[in-house]
Amino acid sequence: MQFIDLKAQYRALQTEINQQIQAVLEAGQYIGGAQVKELEQKLAEYVGRKHCITCANGTDALQIAYLVYGIGEGDAVFCPDITFISSTEPSKMFGATSVFCDIQPDTYNLCPVSLEKQIQAVLAEGKLTPKAVVAVDILGNPCDFDAIIPICEKYDLILIEDAAQSFGASYKGKKCCAFGQIATTSFFPAKPLGCYGDGGAIFVDDDETAAVIRSICVHGKGPKGKYDNVRVGMNSRLDTLQAAILLPKFKALAEHEVADRQVVAKRYNDAFAPHFTTPFVQEGCESVYAQYAILAKDTATRDKVVAHLTEKKIPNMIYYPTPQHALPVFADEPHYAEKFVNADDYCARTLSLPMHPYLGEEEQQLVIDAVLEAL
Ligand SMILES: Cc1ncc(COP(=O)(O)O)c(C=O)c1O
């Protein structure tokens, strides 16, 4: 059994994917081919943004977001305590400071109450300038944007939506990647929309910002082309082959994979709700369950389930074992008043199970039986 069965998806989409790859090989334009433009147009339209700019991976996409807004020395960037390092790494890289916020106990996303407390703490101390918020749709579940956006407006903060895990998810009628001044996603193979290597994208509505992003992606190119370098940039682009692979995969995601993920999640929810905390998705929202995580009643129970699944050769993962504030790389960051009670509790009890849109009922039953047996 696979944790995320990419080969099952390939078998289902093989004809279209092979045709796409063949077309790229025949056209011979491996960088900046027609498929890149087609993908950007389709993704922008799907999420409801004016611009999609693809790039080399989701980490670059976030670094570019920080660069576009000049986030650096003396700036405070507010991030959830539960995320992958890519969301918080650019702060350190560019001389800014990550200010971690606790998570909500039900969605495990950035807690708006903690966010405002941390902003107040930074303002009271007076050393850093509150500059941006990185709202991560953790595990594919959208953040509480109705609560977060007014806080960003109140304190004049840039909102960056890190939708690396949530492409295809939606929040009250709007798709993830549509929130904030800028949103980023990842096409890492295991992501809800994944390619066969590395890839990422950035979404904005503002024309000028889009032009700056396109410049940053090509070494800060200017109006006269790539040897007219007007700013410091990067070399960050999605290869034509990856764009071509993503086209049929995107079609499958939009046509049925998001819906198929709901079916798999519901079967797990029904089986686990009496014994575990199952995922909570806000009213009017849809998660894509990039990971399906349950919380055991305590760490000992979680570890017992992990041991039993591992013995039965059922893949399982812990996303994430360590909250950001406890990572050695951030040991010297100021943590202000917040205690991260919910983030610590989440890490102590969480466990992720095999989850993908091609997970059949029989295979899923094996996971369910093994988890329940462990209790
Ligand atoms: C929340 C989050 N942000 C950013 C990234 C970075 O994406 P990539 O691996 O494409 O660099 C990831 C990837 O795991 C992620 O989970």
Full 3-state SS string of 100-141: EECECCCCCCECHHHHHHHHHHHHHHCCCEEEEEEEECHHHC
Q: Which of 261, 248, 203, 180 is nearest to 45 (CA)?
A: 203
Q: How confident is the model at residue 281 (pLDDT cuts 50, 70, 90)?
A: very high
Would you say the CB of residue 86 lies under 6 angstroms from ligand 1?
Answer: yes
Tell me if the domain spanning 6-101+108-247 has CATH number 3.40.640.10.
yes
pLDDT digits (tens, 9 = 90+) for 14-29: 999 999 999 999 999 9
pLDDT digits (tens, 9 = 90+) for 216-234: 999 999 999 889 999 999 9
Q: How many helices (H) does the chain have, and how many strands (E)?
A: 12, 14
Would you say the CB of residue 185 lies under 6 angstroms from ligand 1?
Answer: no
Would you say the CB of residue 83 lies under 6 angstroms from ligand 1?
Answer: yes
Distance of CA 62 to the CA centre of its chain: 10
Q: pTM of this prediction?
A: 0.98
The predicted model gives 355-359 an average pLDDT of: 98
Measured in Å, residue 19 CA sits from the centre of ligand 1 at: 28
pLDDT digits (tens, 9 = 90+) for 89-111: 999 999 999 999 999 999 999 99
CATH topology of domain 256-374: Aspartate Aminotransferase, domain 1 (3.90.1150)
Would you say the CB of residue 324 lies under 6 angstroms from ligand 1?
Answer: no
List the domain boundaries for the chain: 6-101+108-247, 256-374
